[in-house]
A and B are shown apart, each in its own frame.
Chain A
Amino acid sequence: MSASRLQERSRLLQAVRSFFFSQGYIEVDTPIRLPIPLPEAHIKPFFSEGWFLHSSPEQCMKRLLARGCTQLFQICHCFRKEEVGRYHQTEFTMLEWYCAGWSYRELMEECEEFLRQLVRAVPGLPGIKDAHSLQWQGRTIPLAPPWQRITVAEAFHAYADMTVAQALATDMFDEVLVTRIEPHLGWDTPVFLYDYPVELGSLARRKQGNDSVAERFELYIGGIEIANGFSELIDPEEQRRRFAAEMNKAQELGNPYPELPEKFLADLANIGDTAGIALGLDRLFMFLLGCASVAEAMSMIFEEL
């Protein structure tokens, strides 16, 4: 990354922190090397002397919530094996935050406010068209709220030739999402895709009145996923069952997780209703800096080392 772009990235980092401080959050920096990761069927962690490099700071941040913290944010590097592409790097910067007392709905509104304030705080970047819109791949994406909200079921109905149930039964959910649905999302405004099948949100709370979906959302801009948030699952027993299902899936994929994170499960009992979100900061900066890939928005990538 060039010196001038590094300066822009630095301004962005500062503006991100300013936003969260202004909203009453405290910044934390938790360990990135953990003895037991949270089971995720489709994430392969890097080993480190028998421990693991974290794939997100979720485990430690939730354990801090159990100590009575109410508003936390963290900017940290995360690691996911074998994920390299235009919008992926094995090591990348995550912005993750939690707010006690909230559900995913309040979190969606905060995303709207966050991005609008960020764009105003750092004017003049190549990806920022004006105080109210981004420009991406030759198109203007307005940021005025409310942003579009569409359920996963609605999105399948609108863009795919099968239902969510059919896609899950044939193991086509991800493929249909990526090839048929995602390209449409987030052009007229950023879009929240929400209410995922419960089996695809192992750390998210079931929706009241509709047991089959979890209160989970993904934020899309210009066809690209930026963030994943949810109302946190805080029932240790249900979390234990969901982890077991996730570990089975991982096992089938030849990617076994060693054991359950018992300390995490124990702490879960001490957390009240909370919403949390993980946002790929390099991807967001890619938009704002007008880059074509996440690599261009990062200070350095592994290939330069």
Chain B
Amino acid sequence: MYSASDLRKGLKVQIDGEPYIVIDFEFSKPGKGQALYRTKMRSMISGNQLVNTYRSNDKFEKPDLEERTMQFLYSQDDEYHFMDTSSYEQIFLTRDQLGHNLNYLIDNMEVQVLFFGDRAIDVSLPTFVNLEVTVADPWVKGDTSGTDTKPVTVETGYVLQVPPFVEVGDRIQIDTRSGDYITRVKD
């Protein structure tokens, strides 16, 4: 159990059976008055925000959260199947749950899956992934059109802006937090 005095930004607590993360926190205590813990939290499942003022005697359950390393195996329709690399247990996540992560997800990629009890609720990819360019306009040397980037498509179907020298078959590094091109990589 956590008590209100444990509250701080980033703490994860369970409220009404749902895991929440504290995103904003302010301790207040009027002179001679009681301690007030003014808190903004976000549900780690629905993303809904909860604004509440708690008092010293309020208690919170610790949510049963566990991060497990899993490998992406394959997708079928809307289901994306992963395997726990230590227990070999398999689970699947839906397209909605994966969201923008799908831009970078390729077969055999290792990801961190966050479980709330038995339920997978979030996925974090490596910060940097290397993907192969599958569609790109050819680089015209001496191009003086003034543009310093061009769009390319990578193996996942994701389209991003890259420098003009990137060509089909190149592998490029992408920052999965921003979706931006970082560099061309040589394997």
What residues of chain A have their CB less than 8 Å away from a CB belonging to chain B? 40-42, 82-88, 173-175, 177-179, 182, 200-202, 218, 225, 228, 253-254
Q: Are B5 and A82 closer than 8 Å at their CB atoms?
A: yes
Report the separation of the CA atoms of residues A226 and B11 in the bound assembly, to the nearest whole angstrom: 30
Q: Are B31 and A228 closer than 8 Å at their CB atoms?
A: yes
The one of B5, B32, B36, B56 in contact with A178, judged by C-beta atoms closer than 8 angstroms, is B36
Q: Are A201 and B30 closer than 8 Å at their CB atoms?
A: no
Report the separation of the CA atoms of residues A126 and B126 in the bound assembly, to the nearest whole angstrom: 44
B5 proximity list for chain A (CB < 8 A): 82
Q: Are A86 and B26 closer than 8 Å at their CB atoms?
A: yes
Q: Are A88 and B29 closer than 8 Å at their CB atoms?
A: yes
Q: A82-B56, A178-B28, A253-B57 are in contact. List 15 more A-B contacts (CB 8 A).
A: A41-B34, A42-B32, A42-B35, A82-B5, A83-B29, A174-B30, A175-B53, A179-B53, A200-B32, A218-B30, A225-B30, A225-B31, A253-B34, A253-B56, A254-B57
What residues of chain B have their CB less than 8 Å away from a CB belonging to chain A? 5, 26-36, 38, 53, 56-57
B148 to chain A, nearest CB (A): 39
B109 to chain A, nearest CB (A): 39
A277 to chain B, nearest CB (A): 11
B161 to chain A, nearest CB (A): 38
A253 proximity list for chain B (CB < 8 A): 34, 56-57
Which residue of chain A has the shortest Cβ distance to B53 in the bound complex? A175
A178 proximity list for chain B (CB < 8 A): 28, 30, 33, 36, 38
- 4 A-B pairs with the lowest CB-CB distances in the bound complex, closest first: A85-B27, A174-B33, A228-B31, A82-B5
> Could you list 29 examples of A-B contacts with CB < 8 Å?
A40-B32, A42-B35, A82-B5, A82-B56, A83-B27, A84-B27, A85-B26, A86-B26, A86-B27, A87-B27, A88-B27, A173-B33, A174-B30, A177-B33, A178-B28, A178-B30, A179-B53, A182-B30, A200-B33, A201-B32, A202-B32, A218-B30, A218-B31, A225-B30, A228-B31, A228-B32, A253-B34, A253-B57, A254-B57
